[in-house]
């Protein structure tokens, strides 16, 4: 069978031409835009070694709503009601005409307070919602008993607790205000009570909610009623504040059934939930803190003091549909409702499901979950036809009974494979699995997709167990099955936090061992690549060479001197990211590299890397040395009159991605145009003849950075990339999606954040007529980062943007290819 090789996206080359030139300097506030969101380390430092090759040196680089205050109710008169009815009829007709997926006109919501328009969000129709998933109502015999038993007959009472940390989602975009309006638009039963706490926002975009103190509100048919107008100034990411809110709701609003909704940004398994823009030093609420908050939320009942239990714990936040989140929530809830991917800014659509629940308060939780999921998908696609969204409801009672054993078996067997020299198989499975928020390098993948790719008896059993727990899942993305997990790969910077968190929340220790083994060998592989830059004489000349290399790979200080290649070629990652790099270095033999790696045995690791299994690395020294792309092979040769780079079958088996990296020399320095997975590979020969084209939007050159490339079950690929720019003056990344066989599309934009632990909720909709100003990083002639500049002129985006490659008219273009191996090492082809 032919060895599977890196994938190149389809390149659409237009007939025109374009010119790349820098304009004005831009203060981004967080370093180079090419290094990821707010990550200056891999931008400024990551190109310097490479740029030395542009000047004739060897190739190298580094990897890496408002509500009434003071008791004022909402007043909706007859005229408003008639306007609303007419508006709804118009929307329904429009959606039927458009098939439910077209862009909707902006229609005003009913006024919330004295004529103030509290919302402004389009209201979608939910008639005949197409479903690409089937609700699974089965229950495994191994599932624990549900905590909550419905009363039945439509007699159940509900308390919906909404923990709303407004943050910049509200202060900039009015998203919380709009969602509150959606809740108020519902036809609520007196059996459904909604209690909301607000805070964490510098400026609420309405004339009601306080921006200085936290508050508690009850939502009623006739408006928002303040219950606590001054509920202190605690950070919304303080677990004690969450505990107090749950206890408040359970005490003053006792009900047969409870639901807790976390509203804000989300960061997934390692980072957790929330960002309070008024208390930035409080960081996020990690899963450990969430566990503590839920555990301490005890109230007095007829049976004594008990922990509050929930039908559903939901996250109207990004990236929280993880196994780790589920295991944390399981002792307190029967179901988890969350998204694997980042959520659009519109988030959940509240009106419809609250109305449906009010009509039948005894409906099963999974049926309620299905309505929420369908509403979310429908409203997201109505707001943005190209929305990339996921949402699932997971049965935590079934997870408790079926997953632990299968999870343990999978972790044990996978760890055994890694230790038995099958690292490459696991790395290939990990690289191919659907990944989420890749630009932030949170290392979260769809667990079902990943386990399926591992392809062992144990992984197949785990897939079956996980699929049984995901009772309903919908997604507009491929390979999203409803539950994800942290598995390190792009870098290992979060491993220390993950290991500590796993220990605190009780994640199966076998899984911790598994990812420790994998990440340890990854570190070993990165050190072996770094060693290729050290001359043989330096290796044998005494001193702690391994310690120097370790300092670089783990982001510590380096003892390499200016006379050592490691100091000049890898100075970038020696002080920065954990990703390693390599170039056309010294071509060290297997025994030399293995001898170096054997030095891991018994040595101490840099701070924060005590999780590394040094004995494992030492034991696998020879195998790591063999599974290594010799950087001296990263060079162009002549073959049949063409310039190619040729690797062996064994070496290509280690390469995960190939990316074209282009710079424009303008006399004073270099414009970085980014990375694109467009290349020509014939057999083992990579063509290194550059066609002189680059990606454009409506004829305007952009800097583009590949984020992910995923093969679906049907064999078709989906490629996602980002474009740093200003959108109507705001610093963002445009998201471009290439689906094989279709025209590329802009799915939206997400803000650039500085030092934000969690992932930004929501893609900003990009509309015809919006102003786009592309940005680019600029490097001095000596290879050092200069600044970020505008790229070309600003332009108004068209209704159907044309995304294609055009011939660049610049006189001097520098192109190279970056290859990334199974250890995350980057190799750049030398530039002529």
HEC secondary structure over 210-249: CCCCCEEEEEECCEEEEEECCCCCCCCCCHHHHHHHHHHH
**Average of pLDDT values for 209-213?**
96
Dist. CA 546–CA 621, nearest whole Å: 13
- Predicted local confidence at residue 658, as pLDDT: 95
**Average of pLDDT values for 507-513?**
97
Sign of CA dihedral 633, 636, 638, 640: positive
- Predicted local confidence at residue 559, as pLDDT: 31
**What Å distances lie between residue 637 and 521, 586, 634, 644, 689, CA to CA?**
32, 18, 10, 5, 11
**Average of pLDDT values for 746-773?**
80
Residue 73 β-bridge partners: none
If one compares 538 and 42, the residue with the highest pLDDT of the two is 538
**Average of pLDDT values for 648-658?**
92
A 10 A CB-CB count for 210 gives: 16
Low-confidence winner among 1-15, 213-227, 644-658 (lowest mean pLDDT): 1-15
**Average of pLDDT values for 524-543?**
75
Is the pLDDT confidence value at 552 over 80?
Answer: no
Tell me the three state secondary structure of residue 617: helix
pLDDT in tens, 699-738: 999 999 999 898 887 888 999 999 999 999 999 999 999 9
Q: What is the pTM (predicted TM-score) of this model? A: 0.84
Contact 778, 761 (CB under 8 A): no
* Interhelix angle 509-531/545-553, nearest 10 degrees: 120
- Pairing relation of β-strands 390-395 and 470-475? antiparallel
Cα-based angle 215, 350, 339 (whole degrees, multiple of 5): 95
Select from 111, 65, 105, 66 the least CA-distant residue to 84: 111
- Predicted local confidence at residue 755, as pLDDT: 57
The percent of residues above 90 in pLDDT, for the chain, comes to 62
Dist. CA 433–CA 708, nearest whole Å: 10
- Predicted local confidence at residue 218, as pLDDT: 97
177: which residues sit within 8 A by CB, 6+ positions away? 65, 66, 118, 119, 170, 204, 205, 206
Fill in the DSSP letter of residue 128: T
Is the pLDDT confidence value at 393 over 60?
Answer: yes
**Average of pLDDT values for 571-592?**
49
Q: How confident is the model at residue 545 (pLDDT cuts 50, 70, 90)?
A: confident
pLDDT in tens, 792-829: 999 999 999 999 999 999 999 999 899 999 998 888 88
Burial of 407 (0-12, 13-18, 19+ CB in 10 A): buried
Is the pLDDT confidence value at 16 over 70?
Answer: yes
pLDDT in tens, 221-256: 778 899 999 999 999 999 999 999 999 999 999 999
**Average of pLDDT values for 50-66?**
41
Tokens at 664, concatenated: 């424009």
Is the pLDDT confidence value at 774 over 70?
Answer: yes
- Predicted local confidence at residue 586, as pLDDT: 54
- Predicted local confidence at residue 77, as pLDDT: 36
- Predicted local confidence at residue 173, as pLDDT: 87
Calculate the average pLDDT of the chain.
83
694: which residues sit within 8 A by CB, 6+ positions away? 18, 20, 662, 673, 676, 701, 704, 805, 806, 808
Q: How confident is the model at residue 309 (pLDDT cuts 50, 70, 90)?
A: very high
Is the pLDDT confidence value at 556 over 90?
Answer: no
Q: How confident is the model at residue 433 (pLDDT cuts 50, 70, 90)?
A: very high
- Predicted local confidence at residue 598, as pLDDT: 92
Low-confidence winner among 46-55, 166-175, 332-341, 651-660 (lowest mean pLDDT): 46-55
- Predicted local confidence at residue 155, as pLDDT: 97
Dist. CA 661–CA 676, nearest whole Å: 7
pLDDT in tens, 283-297: 899 999 999 999 999
Q: What DSSP element (H or E) covers 53?
A: helix 48-54
A 10 A CB-CB count for 228 gives: 14
Tell me the three state secondary structure of residue 522: helix
Q: What DSSP element (H or E) covers 291?
A: helix 287-295
**What Å distances lie between residue 216 and 78, 289, 293, 296, CA to CA?**
29, 22, 18, 20
> How far is residue 785 CA from its own chain's centroid?
27
Tokens at 622, concatenated: 């020879």
pLDDT in tens, 117-160: 343 333 444 333 334 578 999 999 999 999 999 999 999 999 99
Residue 791 β-bridge partners: 22
**What Å distances lie between residue 263 and 178, 187, 313, 524, CA to CA?**
13, 22, 11, 40
Dist. CA 423–CA 588, nearest whole Å: 22
- Predicted local confidence at residue 163, as pLDDT: 98
Is the pLDDT confidence value at 680 over 80?
Answer: yes
- Predicted local confidence at residue 540, as pLDDT: 64
- Predicted local confidence at residue 345, as pLDDT: 76
- Predicted local confidence at residue 90, as pLDDT: 33
């Amino acid at each position: 069978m032919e060895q599977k090789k890196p994938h190149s996206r389809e390149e659409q080359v237009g007939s025109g031409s374009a010119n790349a030139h820098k304009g004005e300097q831009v203060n981004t506030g967080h370093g180079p835009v090419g290094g990821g969101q707010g990550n200056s380390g891999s931008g400024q430092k990551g190109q310097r070694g490479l740029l030395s090759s542009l000047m004739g040196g060897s190739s190298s680089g580094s990897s890496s709503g408002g509500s009434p205050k003071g008791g004022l109710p909402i007043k909706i008169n007859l005229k408003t009601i008639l306007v609303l009815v007419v508006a709804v009829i118009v929307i329904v007709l429009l959606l039927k005409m458009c098939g439910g997926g077209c862009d909707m006109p902006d229609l005003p919501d009913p006024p919330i307070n004295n004529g103030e328009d509290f919302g402004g969000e389009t209201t979608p129709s939910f008639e005949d919602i197409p479903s690409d998933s089937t609700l699974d109502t089965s229950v495994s015999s191994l599932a624990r008993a549900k905590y909550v038993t419905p009363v039945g007959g439509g007699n159940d009472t509900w308390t919906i607790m909404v923990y709303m940390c407004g943050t910049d989602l509200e202060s900039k975009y009015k998203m919380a205000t709009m969602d509150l309006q959606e809740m108020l638009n519902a036809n609520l039963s007196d059996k459904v009570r909604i209690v909301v706490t607000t805070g964490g926002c510098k400026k609420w975009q309405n004339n009601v909610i306080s921006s200085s103190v936290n508050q508690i509100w009850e939502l009623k048919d006739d408006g928002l009623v303040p219950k606590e107008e001054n509920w202190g100034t605690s950070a919304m990411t303080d677990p004690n504040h969450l505990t107090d809110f749950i206890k408040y709701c359970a005490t003053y609003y006792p009900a047969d059934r409870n639901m807790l909704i976390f509203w804000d940004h989300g960061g997934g398994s390692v980072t957790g939930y929330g960002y309070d823009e008024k208390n930035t030093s409080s960081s996020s609420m990690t899963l450990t803190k969430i566990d503590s908050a839920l555990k301490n939320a005890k109230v007095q009942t007829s049976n004594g003091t008990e922990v509050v239990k929930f039908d559903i714990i939901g996250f109207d936040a990004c990236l929280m549909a993880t196994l780790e989140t589920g295991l944390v929530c399981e002792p307190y809830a029967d179901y988890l409702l969350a998204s694997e991917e980042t959520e659009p800014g519109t988030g959940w659509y509240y009106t419809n499901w609250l109305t449906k629940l009010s009509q039948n308060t005894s409906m099963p939780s999974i049926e309620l979950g299905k309505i929420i999921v369908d509403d979310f998908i429908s409203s997201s696609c109505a707001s943005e036809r190209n929305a990339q969204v996921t949402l699932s409801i997971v049965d935590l009672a079934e997870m408790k009974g079926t997953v632990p054993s299968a999870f343990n078996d999978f972790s044990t067997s996978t760890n055994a494979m890694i230790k038995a020299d099958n690292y490459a198989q696991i790395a290939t499975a990990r690289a191919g699995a659907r990944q989420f928020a890749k630009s932030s390098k949170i290392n979260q993948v769809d667990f079902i997709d990943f386990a399926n790719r591992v392809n062992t008896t144990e992984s197949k059993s785990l897939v079956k167990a996980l699929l049984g727990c995901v009772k309903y899942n919908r997604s507009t993305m491929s390979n999203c099955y409803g539950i994800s997990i942290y598995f390190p790969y792009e870098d290992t910077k979060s491993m220390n936090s993950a290991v500590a968190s796993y220990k605190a929340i009780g994640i199966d220790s076998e899984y911790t061992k598994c990812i420790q083994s994998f990440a340890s060998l990854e570190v070993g592989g990165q050190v072996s690549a770094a060693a290729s830059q050290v001359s043989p004489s330096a290796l044998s000349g005494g001193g702690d060479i391994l310690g120097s290399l370790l300092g670089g790979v783990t982001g510590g200080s380096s003892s390499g001197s200016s006379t050592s290649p490691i100091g000049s070629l890898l100075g970038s990652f020696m002080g920065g990211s954990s990703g390693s790099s390599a170039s056309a270095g010294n071509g060290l033999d297997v025994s030399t590299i293995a001898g170096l790696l054997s030095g891991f045995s018994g040595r101490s690791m840099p701070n924060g890397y005590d999780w590394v299994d040094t004995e494992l690395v030492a034991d696998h020294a020879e195998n790591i040395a063999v599974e290594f792309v010799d950087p001296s092979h990263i060079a162009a040769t002549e073959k049949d009159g063409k310039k190619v780079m040729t690797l062996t079958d064994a070496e290509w088996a280690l390469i995960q991605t190939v990316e074209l990296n282009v710079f424009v020399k303008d006399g004073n320095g270099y414009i970085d145009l980014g990375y694109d997975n467009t290349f020509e590979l014939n057999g083992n020969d990579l063509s290194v003849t550059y066609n002189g084209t680059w990606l454009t939007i409506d004829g305007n050159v952009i800097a583009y950075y590949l984020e992910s490339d995923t093969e679906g079950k049907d064999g078709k690929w989906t490629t996602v990339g980002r474009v740093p720019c200003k959108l109507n003056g705001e610093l963002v990344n445009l998201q471009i999606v290439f689906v094989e066989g279709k025209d590329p599309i802009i799915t939206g934009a997400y803000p650039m954040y500085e030092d934000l632990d969690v992932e930004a909720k929501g893609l900003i909709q990009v509309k015809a007529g919006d102003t786009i100003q592309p940005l680019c990083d600029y490097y001095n002639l000596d290879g050092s980062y200069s600044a970020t500049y505008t790229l070309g002129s600003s332009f108004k985006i068209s209704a159907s943007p044309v995304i294609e490659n055009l011939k660049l008219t610049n006189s001097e273009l520098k192109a190279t290819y970056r290859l990334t191996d199974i250890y995350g090492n980057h190799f750049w082809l030398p530039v002529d």
